[in-house]
Amino acid sequence: MTLDRSKLWTGDLNAKALEPQPRATIGLYDTTLRDGEQTVGVVLSPEDKLEIARALDAAGVDRIEAGFPRVSEDDARAISLILEAELDAEVWGFSRAVGGDVAALVELGLTASVIESPISDGKLAALGVSREAMLERIRSAVELARSQGIRVAFFGVDSSRADLEFAKRAYTAAVEAGAEEVVVVDTLGIATPEAAAFLVTEIAERLDYEVAIHWHGHDDFGLATAAAIAAVQAGATWVQGTVNGMGERAGNADLVEVALALEALYGIPTRLRLEHVRELSQMVQRLTGTPLAPWKPITGDNLFTRESGAVAAQFHDPPAIEPYASELVGAERGIVLGKKSGLDSIRIKLAELGLQAPQEQHAELLELVKKAGTRKRRLVTDAEFRRLVNRKRDRSTID
């Protein structure tokens, strides 16, 4: 969808610094149902995965990685349910460079899949596999998948720590065996944005820019979103990530964060329907039992909620205190009361709740709110504020 730029209040600094920019639409590949489920303690039922897949589809995600069928019968069943749902999004599988994994894809009727293989020397040593043996595994698995009509994206595990020349050999071998796409993978989240761009450029050049490149990054150093955007600027046309940045260790790139940053700050389009993303985020939190920090960008509870009295004084003018309109991401704005409230907070909350209090009482109500918030060490709820107002009114009537 086209982003309504009248709802962006980001100024012109980015445009001055960034132009010229690529303008090709970037594909979004969601791996919440596979990589996201690797979050410690998270278990999704096949029905949960179908519900999330439907929501991803409604939000405009281009591709959904439905799972790794050889993990369990439940994973295979989830894939079957998602395939039967006939979503608009492409449904992809996940496989190691192992014949049995590929056979499981074929049995389920999947027509597209990532095929992964470790390519860093550290990973190969841990597995006790030589470089040449791994290249042969890659060729064999990709050829088998292609012979069964499966579109392949070769996924080079730990490519950001691999010997660069060997990484190029691995990607070349996969493409020569029939892979139509490749995934450059920052498995441990160690790539700076500059390194992500460098690595994507090196792989793209080796493949003569004829193969679609994905970026798949993790967030161990807090750079997953920035690295994904740098990869796009270097020529990646797909970004892989998860809802809420779920995943093992520090998680994956948050696909929603990447999409909004690309669209709003870089002017690079995606097909994500941003008005659905908070609903999607909340669903995933509920089904996985993994609540977000309230200050999380885009989907956190605090993003359009104001307690500070200084900010409440400007609440009537959203561009003064927010970088984009709340409705852009399906959020609602609101004032909450507590220790940091001001007189404008009281005025706005009274109007919001339909309560009446003379202006000369506002300062006393503010003092009561501040004391309550400080004593309870939390916000003052609407019900508690309502009681404060009613008690003040009753006392005034008696007096």
Measured in whole angstroms, how far is the alpha carbon of residue 238 from the centre of its chain? Answer: 13
> Are 193 and 226 spatial neighbours (Cβ–Cβ below 8 Å)?
yes
For residue 82, give the nearest of 114, 56, 117, 119 by alpha carbon: 56
Tens digits of residue pLDDT in 165-194: 999 999 999 999 999 999 999 999 999 999
Tens digits of residue pLDDT in 15-74: 899 877 778 999 999 999 999 999 999 999 999 999 999 999 999 999 999 999 998 999
- For strand 305-306 and strand 334-335, is the pairing parallel, antiparallel, or unpaired? parallel
Mean pLDDT of the chain: 95
DSSP 8-state symbol, 302:
T
Would you state the pLDDT for residue 397?
Answer: 57
Radius of gyration of the CA atoms of the chain, in A: 25
Tens digits of residue pLDDT in 121-168: 999 999 999 999 999 999 999 999 999 999 999 999 999 999 999 999
Residue 327 tokens read as 């409705």
Tens digits of residue pLDDT in 210-238: 999 999 999 999 999 999 999 999 999 99
> Are 217 and 228 spatial neighbours (Cβ–Cβ below 8 Å)?
yes
What is the C-alpha to C-alpha distance for residues 277 and 355, in angstroms, rounded to an integer? 33
What is the C-alpha to C-alpha distance for residues 390 and 382, in angstroms, rounded to an integer? 12
Residue 185 tokens read as 């993978």
What is the C-alpha to C-alpha distance for residues 134 and 343, in angstroms, rounded to an integer? 68
Tens digits of residue pLDDT in 358-398: 999 999 999 999 999 999 999 999 999 999 999 877 776 55
Q: Is 314 exposed, middle or buried (0-12, 13-18, 19+ CB in 10 A)?
A: middle
What is the C-alpha to C-alpha distance for residues 163 and 169, in angstroms, rounded to an integer? 10
Percent of the chain with pLDDT over 70: 98
What is the C-alpha to C-alpha distance for residues 243 and 285, in angstroms, rounded to an integer? 9
Tens digits of residue pLDDT in 257-280: 999 999 999 999 999 999 999 999
Would you state the pLDDT for residue 396?
Answer: 63
Would you state the pLDDT for residue 398?
Answer: 52
